[in-house]
Each structure stands twice: as structure tokens, then as C-alpha cells.
Amino acid sequence: MEPTKFQISLYKQLSPILGVTSKVVKFADETSNHEIRILTCPDPTDKEVSFYSTLGLSELATHNNDIEILFSAYNSFDKIPNILSSVGFFIIKDKWKAIDGGVFETLVEMYYPNIEMKHLYLTAPYLWKTN
């Protein structure tokens, strides 16, 4: 499936804000019935860090249609796009609610079983003004 106009527009808005060399990778669920795109942008000020974002999750999650998930992490954690795609699939397929203050338990642990941080905590982007 080709990217939608909304996904392309979102990419054009996010990419220059987050970094200069970005890429988008498409992920499919285990049945290949659902797809989600993840934007990856290296941090232009810290070569050890990258930013990641869902692209178009707000289009696909009809019950939670005002959400995109943004994540930053050290580059050594190379499975962050997989974690984000899993978050997206749980929101789309299982109707998980992505709300400010919400916790998605064990999602990090699925990909990094020996890491201390096991869960994702969702919050509004506190560095940016939100309505």
C-alpha cells in the first residue's frame, strides 16, 4: 500500500523538525493485514540519539484518531522502530487507548528482556506547547 497524502504531509512536517537525514520504514503485522510506517531521524545535535515517530497512526486508529507516538532513544537500542510498530498495532487492532499518563506494560520487555525499563509511559510532548 502506498503512503497516504496525510502520511506524506506528516512526514514533511516532522522530518525537518526532528533531523535532516530521515528515513521511513513500513512494518506489517504477523498476518500482513495491517501496516504502519515509522519515521527515523538521527538527532542533529547528538550522534548517539535518534528520534522515531509513527506516521499516520492517527488515520488508522479510528477510536483514537488524534495520536502519533514519538520516541527518542540511543542508537544502540536498534529495536525502537519495532516497539513503535507494536504500539501502533495494539492501538489499531486491539483498541488500546493512547492517553496522556497511560502505560503500555511490557512492550519494551518484549524486545529487550534484560533491560530495567519494561514499560512505555505516554505523555504529551512537554517541550512543545499543546492545546
| DSSP string across 96-110 | ----TT-EETTHHHH
Task: With beta carbons less than 8 A apart as the criterion, state whether 89 and 37 touch.
Answer: no
pLDDT tens digits along 12-61: 777 776 666 788 899 999 998 999 999 998 888 888 999 899 988 888 76
Q: How far apart are CA 39 and CA 51, in angstroms?
A: 8
Question: What does the radius of gyration of the chain's CA atoms come to, in whole angstroms?
Answer: 14
Which phi and psi angles does 104 have, rounded to 5°? -105, 100
Tell me if the pTM is above 0.85.
no
Question: pLDDT value at position 86?
Answer: 94
pLDDT tens digits along 66-86: 788 988 999 999 999 999 999
Cell 496525510 found at: 6
Helix (H, G, I), strand (E, B) or coil at 40: strand
Cell 506528516 found at: 10
Query: Is the pLDDT higher at 51 or at 8?
Result: 51
Residue 62: band (very low, low, confident or very high) from pLDDT cuts 50, 70, 90: low
Mean pLDDT estimate for the chain:
85
Which phi and psi angles does 33 have, rounded to 5°? -90, -20
Task: With beta carbons less than 8 A apart as the criterion, state whether 15 and 35 touch.
Answer: no
